[in-house]
């Protein structure tokens, strides 16, 4: 009996058991004139009813707290969230073992009754079912969780997907380089990894790209301190926003440059087609799983 008690005590204290992160209080940011269009409002087809009214600090699905806005697209908005619960249900193997005090994931929140969301989920599930030894399999982003939020009257829904966190896009990175040009030692390995992922998607998954561009190529996060910095920046310097009725629209907060610049940068986001289905996914480089060469780069004079 004592052995069982000691074993239970060890399991409770094990580093593999993550303590839930408590919900945090986020101060309100500066207000912007509600007459000025910003962010997703500038989309030609924008309708306020099509986008869920997210506020920084909100808690969704009883476990995800919004800590900042990452961006928006034609059919969705993206937020960084902090789950305050045991993350075993998120497929924790896909998250770094170094995320012990805090866990950060990305929430992609689709427009009202989104057909695009249904097609993306179809592609993700298709990829998940594949059993392949192709090196490109680990270059594809996964979904950790999914759920729906209901409209005020309960007659409609907003689909939500939870993804591992990612850094800035290659577009953002290039614009921080001198003369807005990538160094050769970054460009070559990035192209190699893109081609590996494409080969897997085309040859084995039979999924076809329809929108491959540098704005859709995301960077892997090796320096996880930038995730903590993102949240702390939102608390110390809250995002400007406007209030329209029951909703707040925030400016996107940019991810910072990692303090260590020797991280491999090789993730790609693309719009894909599976039959008539499309999905916005990310190809991720993980050299420990693939045996691929690990590449490093430095961009002298990079603007932080």
Q: What pLDDT score was predicted for residue 238?
A: 95
Cα separation of 70 and 172, whole Å?
A: 13
Residue 190 dihedral angles phi and psi, to the nearest 5°? -65, -45
3-state SS assignment for residue 218: strand
CA 202 vs. chain centroid, Å, equals 23
Q: Are 32 and 241 in contact (CB under 8 A)?
A: yes
Instruction: Give per-10-residue mean pLDDT for the chain (304 aa).
Output: 44 41 82 88 87 91 90 80 58 44 83 88 91 85 90 89 85 86 83 86 86 78 85 93 90 78 35 39 35 36 53
- Find out whether 27 and 238 touch, Cβ atoms under 8 Å: yes
The tokens describing 203, both together, are 């040859």
Is the distance from CB of 163 to CB of 142 less than 8 angstroms? yes
User: What is the reported pTM?
Assistant: 0.75
Quick one: pLDDT at residue 241?
Answer: 93
Q: What's the pLDDT score for residue 102?
A: 61
* Cβ 265 vs Cβ 220: under 8 Å: yes
Question: What distance in Å separates the CA atoms of residue 43 and residue 219, rounded to the nearest whole number?
Answer: 26
What pLDDT, on the 0 to 100 scale, is given for residue 107?
Answer: 92
pLDDT at residue 251 in the model: 93
Q: Tokens 């994931």, residue?
A: 105
User: Is residue 243 classed as helix, strand or coil in its secondary structure?
Assistant: strand
Catalytic residues: 211
Return the CA Rg of the chain.
20
- On whether the CB atoms of residues 250 and 240 are closer than 8 A, the answer is yes
pLDDT at 13: 41
Report the pLDDT value the prediction gives residue 21, as an integer from 0 to 100: 61
Contacts of 110 (CB under 8 A, 6+ apart): 75, 76, 116, 117, 158, 159, 160, 161
Tokens of residue 150, six digits: 């209901």
* CATH hierarchy code of domain 20-290: 3.30.200.20
């Amino acid at each position: 009996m004592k052995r069982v008690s000691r074993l239970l005590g060890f399991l409770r204290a094990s580093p593999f058991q993550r303590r839930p992160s408590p919900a945090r209080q986020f101060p309100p940011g500066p207000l912007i004139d509600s007459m000025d269009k910003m962010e997703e409002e500038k989309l030609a087809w924008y309708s306020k009813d099509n986008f869920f009214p997210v506020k920084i600090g909100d808690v969704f699905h009883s476990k995800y707290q919004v800590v900042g806005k990452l961006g928006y697209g034609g059919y969705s908005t993206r937020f960084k969230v902090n789950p305050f619960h045991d993350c075993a249900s998120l497929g924790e193997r896909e998250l770094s073992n170094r995320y012990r005090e805090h866990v950060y994931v990305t929430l992609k929140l689709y427009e009202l009754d989104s057909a695009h969301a249904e097609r993306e989920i179809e592609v993700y599930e298709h990829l998940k079912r594949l059993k392949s030894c192709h090196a490109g399999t680990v270059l594809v982003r996964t979904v950790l969780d999914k759920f729906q939020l209901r409209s005020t009257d309960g007659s409609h829904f907003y689909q939500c997907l939870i993804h591992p966190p990612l850094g800035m896009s290659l577009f953002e990175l290039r614009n921080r380089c001198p003369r807005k040009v990538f160094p050769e030692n970054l460009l070559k390995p990035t192209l190699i990894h893109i081609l590996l992922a494409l080969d897997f998607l085309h040859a084995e998954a039979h999924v076809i790209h329809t929108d491959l561009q540098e704005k859709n190529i995301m960077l892997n996060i090796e320096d996880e301190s930038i995730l903590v910095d993102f949240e702390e920046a939102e608390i110390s310097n809250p995002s400007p926003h406007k209030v329209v009725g029951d909703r707040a629209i925030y400016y996107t907060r940019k991810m910072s440059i990692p303090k260590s610049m020797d991280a491999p940068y090789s993730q790609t986001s693309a719009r894909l087609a599976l039959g008539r289905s499309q999905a916005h996914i990310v190809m991720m480089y993980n050299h420990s799983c693939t045996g691929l060469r690990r590449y490093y780069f430095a961009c002298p004079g990079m603007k932080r």
